[in-house]
Amino acid sequence: MSGYIKVYFEKEIQGFGPVTVVGYIGEGATMSLTSHWNPPFLNDSVGDATALNKAADIAQASTGLTSKAEWNTILNWEGIEPLAFSLPVYFKAHSDAKKQVEDPIKFLEMMATPSLNEASPLGDVPETLILDVGRRIKITNAVIQDVQSELDSPRTRDGYRTENMVTLQLQAKQMASQSDLSSIHI
């Protein structure tokens, strides 16, 4: 199968060493880039002070005229969220259900969880992983925010799932700048 229809997750997992999980990109996979633009003066009026603002509100209510101006509505950029991914990932067993479906699901769950100590604090938070979507988008500092797997999928006689659609929510750990996008889209 072509690498362009697969998704790869790479991470060092305590007790297992470097682990790579490979699945098929499911229908409806998305990448999101969200900028925050807000009008910083939306609630301000000319000569804004609490008493003047109240008077302006009363005048607007009685006359239908506003003390707002066009400059009140100018949007200012206030930041960008890290790239976010919603990835349905399909696993199917061709010969070994444990290795081809169960283990990849287990490893994805392990990639999303911390390594905590039994009684003392200072455990390890989940580390970032490398996310490679279709050999065209590569994020080297992604975190898994949510892992959902089907519990009602077909199983072998030993109880291993023979196929599964795992839905993942991931996000880059930091926002990308314009210059980063050329290295993300490979």
Q: What is the pLDDT of residue 64?
A: 85
Q: What is the 3-state secondary structure (H, E, C) of the chain?
A: CCHHHEEEEEEEECCCEEEEEEEEECCCCEEECCEEEECCCCCCCCCCCHHHHHHHHHHHHHHCCCCCCHHHHCCEEEEECCCEEEEEEEEECCCCHHHHHHHHHHHHHHHHCCECCCCCCCCECCCCEEEEECCCEEEEEEEEEEEECCCCCCECCCCCECEEEEEEEEEECCCCCHHHHHHHEC
Q: What is the pLDDT of residue 17?
A: 96
- The tally of CA atoms less than 13 A away on the side-chain side of residue 77 is 5
Q: What is the pLDDT of residue 59?
A: 78
Q: What is the pLDDT of residue 167?
A: 98
Nearest CA among 4, 3, 2, 7 for reference residue 90: 7
Q: What is the pLDDT of residue 18?
A: 97
pTM of the model: 0.84
Across the chain, which has 186 residues, the per-10-residue mean pLDDT values are 93 95 98 91 57 75 80 85 98 98 98 91 92 97 98 97 98 94 90
Nearest CA among 6, 72, 88, 3 for reference residue 39: 72
Q: What is the pLDDT of residue 42?
A: 59
